[in-house]
């Protein structure tokens, strides 16, 4: 005879020792480092906007929207029910809500709208905050941010299109741009045979009539990656008789007809699921040339400068979210009669992660200051151009192990999809690929030093300003000088060069702006060799409690 237990024995036990969801905290209010940087960089006029955005990051309603945007994935719709080509992407309403939030808070255009000191600083802070909520929408948002200064190189096109790019209103309707309150933008250069080697692209453009800047062309060819494919405008790099050119390709033509842009398939990506990346076909597609024929790469580099900035800001935000979740979890979870956060080994891990996050944020916000000053100060412009490449490389090499370590603090709970951690982990590698993978970035840095002596001057001037403050940094500055100015340095050392440059710059910024217990710990562990190769191997002389408390005040 089998024994059937009474129903009362099947009832679940009371759940204990499980942390509450991290909700209702204000992500900006809790971020001391970011607040200090915004004030220091003259962006505190945007405090109300940043506080409002910070309140959304841990708002359960917006968390749910972010989850929906990444689980109810975009779908390609090539035809309507009448069999007519429409080539559109259908998104869940949550995607539209989330990107609308970014528009509302001017993450896509704040410096250009504000036109005042601290614009890039305030916008950098906004992107770090928004990346903690949802990263997929930041692709079209960052493209808009980068396109505006690039398009200004072609004033006649900028005069027509820029007002729509400046709008704070996101408009999801699939209607011609002249009927919309605001527009979204995509960009594509990559082809199957070329990748980062744009000069191998085979998509070509021929003038409809007269050739030249601002003139109309027809495009023919295939693009392997186009992010934000549902956008109202796509900027396309295509070959002309004189070499690569950059073209503004609208979805709708002036006569009200659809521009023949064929969406071939959506990419099934590791992460960045909410964002629709696609392959495109152009066959008689109309586009308008931005800049000169054959000058497409220099034209696009102005765009790339700003989007590379975004490709380091977003990981800084992901680091911050992952760290916040880790500290919150360990403060509310106990093992062996002690909170996890109070256990020496865990405290070492959290403090080490907090040092890394602060170093990243502080460096990125210094670059934002340089972007703000670049219009009038050639030294700051040179500093921003070289340091954003260094940061883009290094931050994206640190983000994956950083998020993995934060995930591990949760144990098995961090590995299940109900947690935010798997989404952050899948998202972590993408920005190391976008806008130039690691090798491309390092070679760009090497070439910049050799072609533009001012790059070296301003970079080292920033480091020399703190010489004498820390012996480990002094030694690193000397080492980096030897590497950078060694004209016989082989290419295979470019990664080591970029790594040492990044760590020296992070150390310099922390010495200038962080408490001594943070900057000393960074220099000791990253430059002085007083730690191992994984997070959590720092010496017990580090003031771990103060560092953790600064990172996420209890």
Same domain, 373 and 467: yes
Same domain, 206 and 344: no
Same domain, 201 and 284: yes
- CATH number of the CATH domain containing 280: 2.40.110.20
Judge contact between 531 and 537, C-beta under 8 A.
yes
Same domain, 284 and 423: no
Same domain, 129 and 189: no
Same domain, 119 and 229: no
Report the 3 state secondary structure along 469-486. CCHHHHHHHHHHHHHHCC
Does 103 map to a domain? yes
Could you tell me which residues come within 8 angstroms of residue 144 by beta carbon, excluding any fewer than 6 positions away?
Answer: 108, 109, 165, 184, 185
| Average pLDDT of span 7-12 | 58
Same domain, 41 and 81: yes
Model confidence over 420-456: pLDDT tens digits? 999 999 999 999 999 889 999 999 999 998 889 999 9
The per-residue DSSP string of 386-406 comes to: HHHHHHHHHHHHHHHHHHHHH
Lowest mean pLDDT among 196-205, 324-333, 427-436: 196-205
Same domain, 64 and 115: yes
Does 439 map to a domain? yes
Considering 122, 141, 165, which residue would you say is the last residue of a domain? Answer: 165
Distance (Å, rounded) from C-alpha 396 to C-alpha 189?
21
Q: Name the phi and psi angles at 22, rounded to 5.
A: -80, 95
Does 107 map to a domain? yes
Does 522 map to a domain? yes
Does 5 map to a domain? no
The per-residue DSSP string of 286-304 comes to: EEEEES-TT-HHHHHHHHH
243 strand-pairing partners: 240
Distance (Å, rounded) from C-alpha 367 to C-alpha 129?
17
Q: Name the phi and psi angles at 400, rounded to 5.
A: -65, -55
Q: Is the pLDDT of residue 164 over 70?
A: yes
Same domain, 114 and 252: no
R_g of the chain computed on alpha carbons = 24
| Average pLDDT of span 241-270 | 95
Does 248 map to a domain? yes
Which residue range is the domain that position 134 belongs to? 32-165
Does 116 map to a domain? yes
Same domain, 474 and 355: yes
| 430, 436, 440, 445 alpha-carbon torsion, rounded to 10° | -110
Same domain, 52 and 134: yes
Helix axes 344-373, 378-409, angle to 10 degrees: 160
What tokens does 509 get? 């910024």
Considering 295, 319, 336, which residue would you say is the last residue of a domain? Answer: 295
What tokens does 317 get? 């935000």
- Residue 5 pLDDT class (50, 70, 90 cuts): low
What tokens does 257 get? 């007809």
Distance (Å, rounded) from C-alpha 340 to C-alpha 347?
8
Distance (Å, rounded) from C-alpha 397 to C-alpha 534?
13
Distance (Å, rounded) from C-alpha 493 to C-alpha 488?
11
What is the pLDDT, as a whole number, of residue 12?
Answer: 65
Considering 295, 314, 340, which residue would you say is the last residue of a domain? Answer: 295
Same domain, 218 and 246: yes
Does 7 map to a domain? no
Q: Domain count of the chain?
A: 3
What is the pLDDT, as a whole number, of residue 4?
Answer: 56
């Amino acid at each position: 005879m089998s024994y059937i237990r009474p129903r009362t024995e099947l009832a679940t036990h009371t759940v204990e020792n499980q942390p509450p969801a991290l909700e209702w905290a204000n992500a900006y209010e809790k971020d001391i480092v970011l607040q200090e940087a915004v004030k220091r960089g003259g962006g505190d006029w945007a405090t109300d906007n940043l506080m409002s955005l910070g309140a959304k990051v841990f708002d359960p309603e917006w968390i749910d929207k972010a989850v929906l945007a990444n689980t109810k994935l975009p779908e390609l719709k090539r035809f309507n029910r009448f069999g007519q080509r429409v080539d559109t992407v259908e998104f869940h309403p949550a995607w539209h809500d989330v990107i609308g939030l970014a528009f509302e808070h001017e993450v896509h255009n704040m410096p250009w709208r504000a036109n005042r000191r601290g614009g890039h600083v305030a916008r950098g802070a906004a992107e770090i905050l928004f990346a903690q909520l949802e990263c997929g929408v930041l692709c079209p948002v960052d493209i808009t941010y980068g396109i505006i200064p690039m398009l200004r190189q072609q004033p006649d096109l900028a005069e027509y299109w820029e007002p729509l790019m400046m709008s704070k209103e996101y408009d999801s309707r699939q209607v011609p741009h002249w009927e919309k309150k605001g527009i979204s933008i995509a960009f594509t250069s990559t082809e199957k045979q070329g990748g980062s080697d744009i000069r191998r692209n085979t998509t070509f453009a021929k003038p409809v009539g007269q050739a030249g800047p601002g003139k109309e062309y027809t495009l023919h060819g295939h693009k392997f990656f186009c992010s934000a494919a549902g956008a109202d405008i796509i900027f396309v790099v295509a070959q002309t008789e004189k070499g690569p050119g950059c073209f503004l390709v609208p979805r709708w033509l002036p006569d009200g007809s659809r521009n023949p842009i064929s969406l071939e398939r959506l990419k099934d990506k590791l992460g960045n699921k909410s964002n629709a990346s696609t392959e495109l076909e152009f066959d008689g597609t109309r586009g308008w040339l931005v800049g000169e024929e054959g000058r497409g790469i220099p034209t696009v580099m102005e765009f790339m400068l700003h989007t590379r900035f975004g490709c380091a800001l977003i990981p800084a935000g992901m680091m911050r979210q992952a760290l916040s979740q880790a500290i919150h979890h360990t403060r509310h979870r106990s093992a062996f009669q002690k909170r996890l956060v109070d256990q020496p080994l865990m405290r070492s891990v959290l403090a080490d992660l907090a040092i890394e996050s602060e170093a990243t944020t502080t460096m990125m916000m210094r670059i934002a200051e340089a972007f703000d000053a670049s219009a009038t100060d050639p030294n700051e412009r040179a500093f921003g151009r070289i340091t954003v490449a260094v940061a883009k490389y290094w931050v994206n090499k640190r983000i994956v192990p950083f998020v993995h370590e934060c995930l591990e603090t949760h144990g098995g709970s961090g590995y299940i999809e109900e947690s935010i951690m798997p989404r952050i982990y899948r998202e972590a590698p993408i920005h190391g690929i976008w806008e130039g993978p690691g090798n491309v970035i390092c070679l760009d840095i090497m070439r910049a030093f050799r072609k533009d002596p001012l790059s070296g001057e301003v970079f080292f001037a920033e480091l020399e300003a703190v010489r004498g403050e820390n012996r480990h940094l002094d030694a690193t500055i000397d080492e980096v000088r030897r590497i950078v100015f060694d004209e016989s340095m082989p290419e295979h050392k470019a990664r080591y060069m970029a790594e040492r440059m990044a760590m020296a710059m992070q150390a310099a910024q922390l010495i200038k702006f962080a408490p001594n217990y943070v900057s000393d710990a960074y220099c000791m562990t990253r430059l002085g060799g007083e730690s191992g190769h994984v997070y959590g191997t720092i010496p017990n002389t580090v003031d771990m409690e103060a560092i953790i408390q600064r990172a996420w005040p209890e």
